[in-house]
Amino acid sequence: MDESVAPGVHPEPSAEAFDPDDPWAWASVQDEPEIVDISHCRVTAVLVTQNAARWLPETLTALAGLTRRPDRVIAIDNESTDETLELLDDAIQRREIDEVYLGRHGYGYGDAIRSALSQDIAVHPEAAAPPGPDEWLWLLHDDAAPAPEALAQLLGHVVTDPSIDITGPKLLRPRRRHRPYQIAEIGESISTSGRRHLGLDSGEIDQGQRDQPARRLAVSSCAMLVRRSVWDELGGFDPAIPGFRDGLEFGWRAQLAGHKVLTTPAAAVVHRQVGRAGLRPSGFGGTRPEKTDREFGMALIAAHAPAGRGPFVWLRLLLGSLVRAVAFLIGKVPGQSGDELAAAWSFIRHPRRIHRMRTRIRSGRITPRGQSIVARLRPARFSGIRAGIDVITAAIGNRYVEIAGTEPEAASLDELTSDELSSTPDEKKNNPWFSPIMITLVLSVVACLVAARRVIGLGSLAGPQLLPINTDLGRLWHNFLDAVPGSPHTTTAPWTGLIAAAATIFAGQPEWLVTVLLVGTVPLGLLSVYPLLRRTIEDRRIRLWVAISYALLPVLLGGSNQGRLVLTVAAIMLPVLAIAGRALVLRRVGHPEAWRGGWGAGLALTVLGAFAPSLIVVALLLAVIAAFTVARQPRKIGRLAIAVGTPLVILSPWWPTILSSWGRLLTGPDPELEGTAVPGSGLLFLIGRDGGAGLPPLWIGLIVFGSFWAIAVAGLLRGYRRRSVLAGWLVGLVSLAVAVGLSRLLVDVPPAHVETRPYVGIFLLIAFGALVLAGGIGVDGYSQELGGRSFSVVQPLSVLAGVLAALISLMGAGWWLLDGMSGPVHRTQLTAIPPYIVDAQTGPNQVRTLAIDLRGGRAAYSVVAGDQTRLGDPERGYSLGGSVVAREQVSSVVSRLVSGSGDTDLAPDLADLGINYVWVSGADDDARSRITNTPGLSPASGSATGVVWQLTQPTSRVRLVSGQQIVRLADDPDGVRIPASSLQRILRLGVPADPRWRATLDGRPLMPLNDGNWQQSFTVPASGGLLRYHLASPIPWLPIGQGAALLITMVLAAPGVRRPEVRDPVQVARRVATVGPGGGSRIDLGGPITDFTELTTTGGFLTVSDGVTTSTGGSDGEGLLGTTTLDALRSGEQPMEATAIRSRGDR
């Protein structure tokens, strides 16, 4: 070395060194590395051990192979029960360790270090002198193996930058044979939720990309190099954090005190992290290291929180832990969820620990600059939320790839290693956004908006089979939860609860939900069926045709125009059921998500059964048949049991209603709307016509459905995948037969046992969906088959048939697009009944209105209450509940009123029914005169839509009757006060009689009265007081149980967390920790310590100590450090080249 050059400085190359004729001469000139003298640094290494016999030999081997050894190596053992102490004793005999001290079993890492240093001072009093600036502590774990140059690089860095007080190496995971090293940690920080922030990708390979020193909030306590004076100033690690986050806690306090923490990536240490792997059950982490780590992270955040914000920080941490626990539970990681809850509970139970930590922080030095640096080095406030969003978007991306049918093209090895561009730069890559299904999906969304041009706007959607939905979300839930008066054995149909739950998800806007379901039927069906088709049909063109044809079925069957939500729900859920059923049967028994198919099928059947309970009967029959086919596989039978048992359990509160009136089993939502009209010929069912309104023209139905039959026949005749095709045909024909049979039935439905006909459109959807699928499967691959034949007339005819089928489907789509949702579904403002009547219906008196429609030469009527008749009200018997007597009384009143009988009992009968107003539309002058002449009625108002009459003696729903004296009472949930009276009084509630009604007067129960009146009545004593009444449900907790069961089913049916580092980080850490000889695995690390020369290092320091080169500044080290083996090192031999350098240095 040129002695004229100061250490650490190298001369610039002179201009004469370059060849003026060679423009690339500068590239051949190599800079001389900067030489750093580390001889003056005094290092005390402290090794903490506990039950480390499996991996300690590897650590001692690595320490013996260091090119720059610590000046003093002391070890402390925390009462190991294995051979750890014997290994340390052998190390003393070989002079690899200077002293071994004994600690205690309960010591944490920081406690053990403090004990070792104090015991060492007691043995060597000369070490008690105040430490100088060049005295350092090197803290070692018993499962860490430093690279030969690790300490030299650490010292080289702190000598080059004297402002560094704490530094740490690049921690690597043990390397499997022929695999690169992965970075475990290189500095760390902490988020506001207590989550450890490493700034690394999962499984990131060490390629030198992190080899620039960086300022971090802290470095790991493993192989941390800390200035001895800083250690003494800060008091070492906080005993409240005995491990895992101890380095982070120490670094945070050091930063606040103004000390500098920097990483030294040129130094490498292989760290097994056996504590995080749960391989040290006697340690503080035990067998649940994730729980302990999470608890320490929360404690660290709470300890550093400002005093005024402490309670809010505690609350945020606990809520965050609860949210994470729920998220892990949804992701089917119950162990992680349990760790989160256990950590939160332990965090709550140990407030004194937080107090001690805060006291320690306040007692130290805190500088404004340190606070600003800490704020800068911590991750952003919402980094955890962003990480969660990344996981969700990745899952959505995977789902998108599944739907789109495209995957990113993988680059070839030549493209990855070549310096040139791809050999086909002009070749167009597949863009998933322009895949055929995505284009079709976008076009279907645009088309559905065009088709719905007449029904998009303000107001409520309504139609023959669709009542306006209640815009009040609370009222929607009440309709599902409240008992049905007058029908003790009837519960509200569960589909109303599903609608309420879905409306809640739709920002509490029920009308938005109904609009999306009806208007978006086609794109929703397309989105649902395509994943199924990807699993069953290979030809993309046929797959797309089948998807479009299936998605159009609800429209072609008149579901959208009639407002049938059941058809949209079925079109969405039937493919989901098919996918789940396929997984249920085909997924192998040992698959990690083998049971998902059963739960997914159960969830789909629950939704379908809530809208169309007859499908559960079909599913039961199919499950029995399927059970015989998998009789030798009990676990698959268990999946079938889950699939059919789930809807039976979740919908169990509804089964008494079904059993008491079996006709409800065959009907759909709001069955009273179906009517009793006789359907057309069964032959029309072959072209999808069940006689309802809103169907396409007959000729379009003939052509479109005829093409479906033709392709299904072609698929059957071809003979390809015959079993699947025959199964599709069997399902289709049986469903058609069921539809024809059900259409001829008249059944009565609860709660008032009204006769109606079952809706068969859902079976037509199943029939034609199965036929279309069977045809698609049957002709799948036919184009490739034709390509292998010699050319004949078959090829052009086949092409013509395919084009014709596509054009026919487009014709059906064109009718839907041009004619649109033209009726009978429509958008209404519900302004026919005057607002003042609606106010009276929703006011304290809760009166009813008799609405009569005289158009068309017939008298249609209904009793309207509250905010008018809404979706789901027919399931509850409208405003009169399950009282057949009340319905008959209303029918009698309407007959007498329209006929103009002038009956003097009409007004009392209306009052008894709680009807205060009569609204009539379509009445001519003669009809108006007859109604006006009715005693007790007087005209109230009139408009173009109808005329209103009201009782001359106003009534209310709840009345207190004393002979001819009637007192109107307000319907107040808080109760109403009634005066005392000597008269005999009867309380009439204006609702059907039901044994579940309860009434009290000042807390004393009233006696029910059965006097032959349809209303619920009670005998009222002479005393006055606060009157209260309510309809008690015998099992009010059942809806809560249904919701919980449905939520659990959704969780079990949803995809689980698949990333192993998230699903089971302890198991991942255990696999890593057990790699190589020290871990007990048969995988070899490479044997000799020179295997560390394969580390990828792009920077570092060329260091010397006492004239001996101790590190090579990032070169491979082969020419400088030699290849001395471990045995030679233990015998005291120097590396070959190092000996030569020492000799030259001595000269």
What secondary structure letter does DSSP report for 28?
G
Q: Is 752 exposed, middle or buried (0-12, 13-18, 19+ CB in 10 A)?
A: buried
pLDDT tens figures, 8-29: 334 444 444 456 666 666 556 5
Q: How many Å is the maximal CA-CA distance in the chain? A: 135
- Six-digit token string for 762: 């859902």
Check whether 120 has a pLDDT greater than 50. Answer: yes
Per-chain mean pLDDT for the chain: 84
Q: What is the pLDDT of residue 27?
A: 57
Q: What is the pLDDT of residue 701?
A: 92
Q: What is the pLDDT of residue 1025?
A: 93
C-alpha 1085/C-alpha 1077 separation (Å) is: 7
C-alpha 886/C-alpha 909 separation (Å) is: 10
C-alpha 1123/C-alpha 1120 separation (Å) is: 9
Q: What is the pTM of this model?
A: 0.77
Q: Cα 572 from chain centroid?
A: 20
Least confident stretch, 323-332, 467-476, 666-675, 762-771? 323-332
Q: What is the pLDDT of residue 856?
A: 80
Check whether 38 has a pLDDT greater than 50. Answer: yes
What are the residues facing 865 on neighbouring strands? Answer: 848
Check whether 218 has a pLDDT greater than 50. Answer: yes
What secondary structure letter does DSSP report for 1075?
-
Q: What is the pLDDT of residue 176?
A: 77
CB–CB of 916/938 below 8 Å?
no
pLDDT band at 1133 (very low <50, low <70, confident <90, very high): very low
Summarize the confidence of residues 380-396 as an average pLDDT: 63
Q: How far is CA 572 from CA 122, 131, 690, 696, in A?
A: 78, 74, 21, 22
What secondary structure letter does DSSP report for 452?
T
For the chain, domain boundaries: 41-378+1071-1127, 436-826, 831-951, 958-1031
- Which letter, b or e, does each residue of 990-1020 get, where b requires 16 or more Cβ atoms within 10 Å of its Cβ? bbbbbeebebbbeeeebebbeeeebbbbbeb
CB–CB of 91/1115 below 8 Å?
no
Least confident stretch, 213-222, 426-435, 688-697, 989-998? 426-435
pLDDT tens figures, 786-815: 766 667 677 788 788 888 988 998 999 999
Summarize the confidence of residues 1036-1063 as an average pLDDT: 80
- Six-digit token string for 865: 């209450």
C-alpha 52/C-alpha 547 separation (Å) is: 62
If one counts every other C-beta atom within 10 angstroms of the C-beta of residue 852, the result is: 21
Least confident stretch, 211-225, 307-321, 522-536, 1052-1066? 1052-1066
Summarize the confidence of residues 371-396 as an average pLDDT: 73
- CA distance from start to end of the chain: 13
Q: What is the pLDDT of residue 309?
A: 87
CB–CB of 550/530 below 8 Å?
no
Q: Cα 114 from chain centroid?
A: 46
CATH class of 41-378+1071-1127: alpha beta
Whole-number percent of the chain with pLDDT over 90:
53
CB–CB of 521/554 below 8 Å?
yes
Please count the CA atoms within 13 angstroms of the CA of 128 that sit on its side-chain side.
Answer: 8
pLDDT tens figures, 871-888: 999 999 998 988 999 999
Least confident stretch, 7-21, 95-109, 582-596, 1115-1129? 1115-1129
Least confident stretch, 81-85, 123-127, 631-635? 631-635
The residues, ordered by sequence, that sit 6+ positions from 37 with a Cβ below 8 Å of its Cβ are: 7, 8, 159, 1103, 1104, 1105
- Six-digit token string for 709: 């039959």
CB–CB of 691/677 below 8 Å?
yes
pLDDT band at 341 (very low <50, low <70, confident <90, very high): very high
R_g (Cα) of the chain, nearest Å: 41
pLDDT tens figures, 850-863: 999 998 888 899 99
| Among candidate residues 121, 115, 51, the one with its CA nearest the CA of residue 86 | 51
pLDDT tens figures, 241-250: 998 899 999 9
C-alpha 542/C-alpha 782 separation (Å) is: 10
- Mapped onto helix, strand or coil, the DSSP state of residue 736 is helix
Check whether 822 has a pLDDT greater than 90. Answer: no
Q: What is the pLDDT of residue 952?
A: 92
3-state DSSP of 343-382: HHHHHHHCHHHHHHHHHHHHHCCCCHHHHHHHHHHCCCCC
- Which residues of 66-198 form beta strands (DSSP E)? 72-77, 99-102, 135-141, 144-146, 164-172, 183-185, 189-190, 196-197
CB–CB of 269/315 below 8 Å?
no
Check whether 402 has a pLDDT greater than 70. Answer: no
pLDDT band at 412 (very low <50, low <70, confident <90, very high): very low
| Among candidate residues 759, 707, 709, 764, the one with its CA nearest the CA of residue 731 | 764
Question: Which residue type is seen at 984?
Answer: Q
Least confident stretch, 52-61, 100-109, 384-393? 384-393
- Which residues of 503-544 form beta strands (DSSP E)? none
Question: What interhelical angle do 246-256 and 351-363 show, nearest 10?
Answer: 30
| Among candidate residues 953, 923, 930, the one with its CA nearest the CA of residue 861 | 923
Q: What is the pLDDT of residue 891?
A: 94
C-alpha 744/C-alpha 19 separation (Å) is: 103
Check whether 405 has a pLDDT greater than 80. Answer: no
C-alpha 554/C-alpha 766 separation (Å) is: 11
CB–CB of 937/904 below 8 Å?
no
Question: Which residue type is seen at 543?
Answer: R
pLDDT tens figures, 450-502: 999 989 888 899 988 999 999 899 999 998 989 899 988 888 999 999 999 99
Check whether 2 has a pLDDT greater than 50. Answer: no
| Among candidate residues 893, 945, 949, the one with its CA nearest the CA of residue 918 | 949
Cis omega before residue 1065 (within 30°)?
Answer: no
Check whether 967 has a pLDDT greater than 50. Answer: yes
The residues, ordered by sequence, that sit 6+ positions from 1106 with a Cβ below 8 Å of its Cβ are: 39, 1145
- Six-digit token string for 890: 């209303």
Q: What is the pLDDT of residue 230?
A: 95
Least confident stretch, 578-582, 636-640, 686-690, 1032-1036? 1032-1036
pLDDT band at 680 (very low <50, low <70, confident <90, very high): confident
CB–CB of 865/917 below 8 Å?
no
Q: What is the pLDDT of residue 1145?
A: 33
- Six-digit token string for 66: 């260091």
Check whether 1118 has a pLDDT greater than 80. Answer: no
Question: Which residue type is seen at 624?
Answer: V
| Among candidate residues 89, 10, 1054, the one with its CA nearest the CA of residue 576 | 1054
pLDDT tens figures, 270-315: 998 888 888 888 777 777 888 899 999 999 999 999 988 888 999 9
Q: What is the pLDDT of residue 1074?
A: 73
- For the chain, helix (H) and strand (E) counts, in that order, are 40, 32
If one counts every other C-beta atom within 10 angstroms of the C-beta of residue 162, the result is: 10
Q: How far is CA 848 from CA 587, 777, 878, 914, in A?
A: 57, 57, 11, 6
- Which letter, b or e, does each residue of 873-885 get, where b requires 16 or more Cβ atoms within 10 Å of its Cβ? bbbbbbbbbbbbb
Q: Cα 985 from chain centroid?
A: 58
Angle ∠(341,343,347) on CA atoms, nearest 5? 115
Question: Which residue do the tokens 């990855």 mark?
Answer: 416
| Among candidate residues 524, 919, 992, the one with its CA nearest the CA of residue 751 | 992
Q: How far is CA 334 from CA 338, 810, 1057, in A?
A: 6, 49, 11
- Six-digit token string for 549: 């044809």
- Mapped onto helix, strand or coil, the DSSP state of residue 921 is strand
- Which letter, b or e, does each residue of 239-278 get, where b requires 16 or more Cβ atoms within 10 Å of its Cβ? bbbbbbbbbbbbbbbbbbbebbbbbbbbbbbbbbbbbbbb
The torsion angles phi and psi of 549, rounded to 5 degrees, stand at: -60, -45
Check whether 561 has a pLDDT greater than 80. Answer: yes
- Mapped onto helix, strand or coil, the DSSP state of residue 1066 is helix
C-alpha 487/C-alpha 748 separation (Å) is: 14
- Six-digit token string for 190: 């902490």
Q: What is the pLDDT of residue 1106?
A: 67
C-alpha 852/C-alpha 96 separation (Å) is: 103
pLDDT tens figures, 1070-1116: 777 777 655 544 333 333 333 554 555 556 778 777 666 666 665 44
pLDDT tens figures, 417-439: 334 444 444 444 456 667 888 89
Q: Are strands 72-77 and 99-102 parallel, antiparallel or unpaired?
A: parallel
Question: Which residue do the tokens 């920097």 mark?
Answer: 262
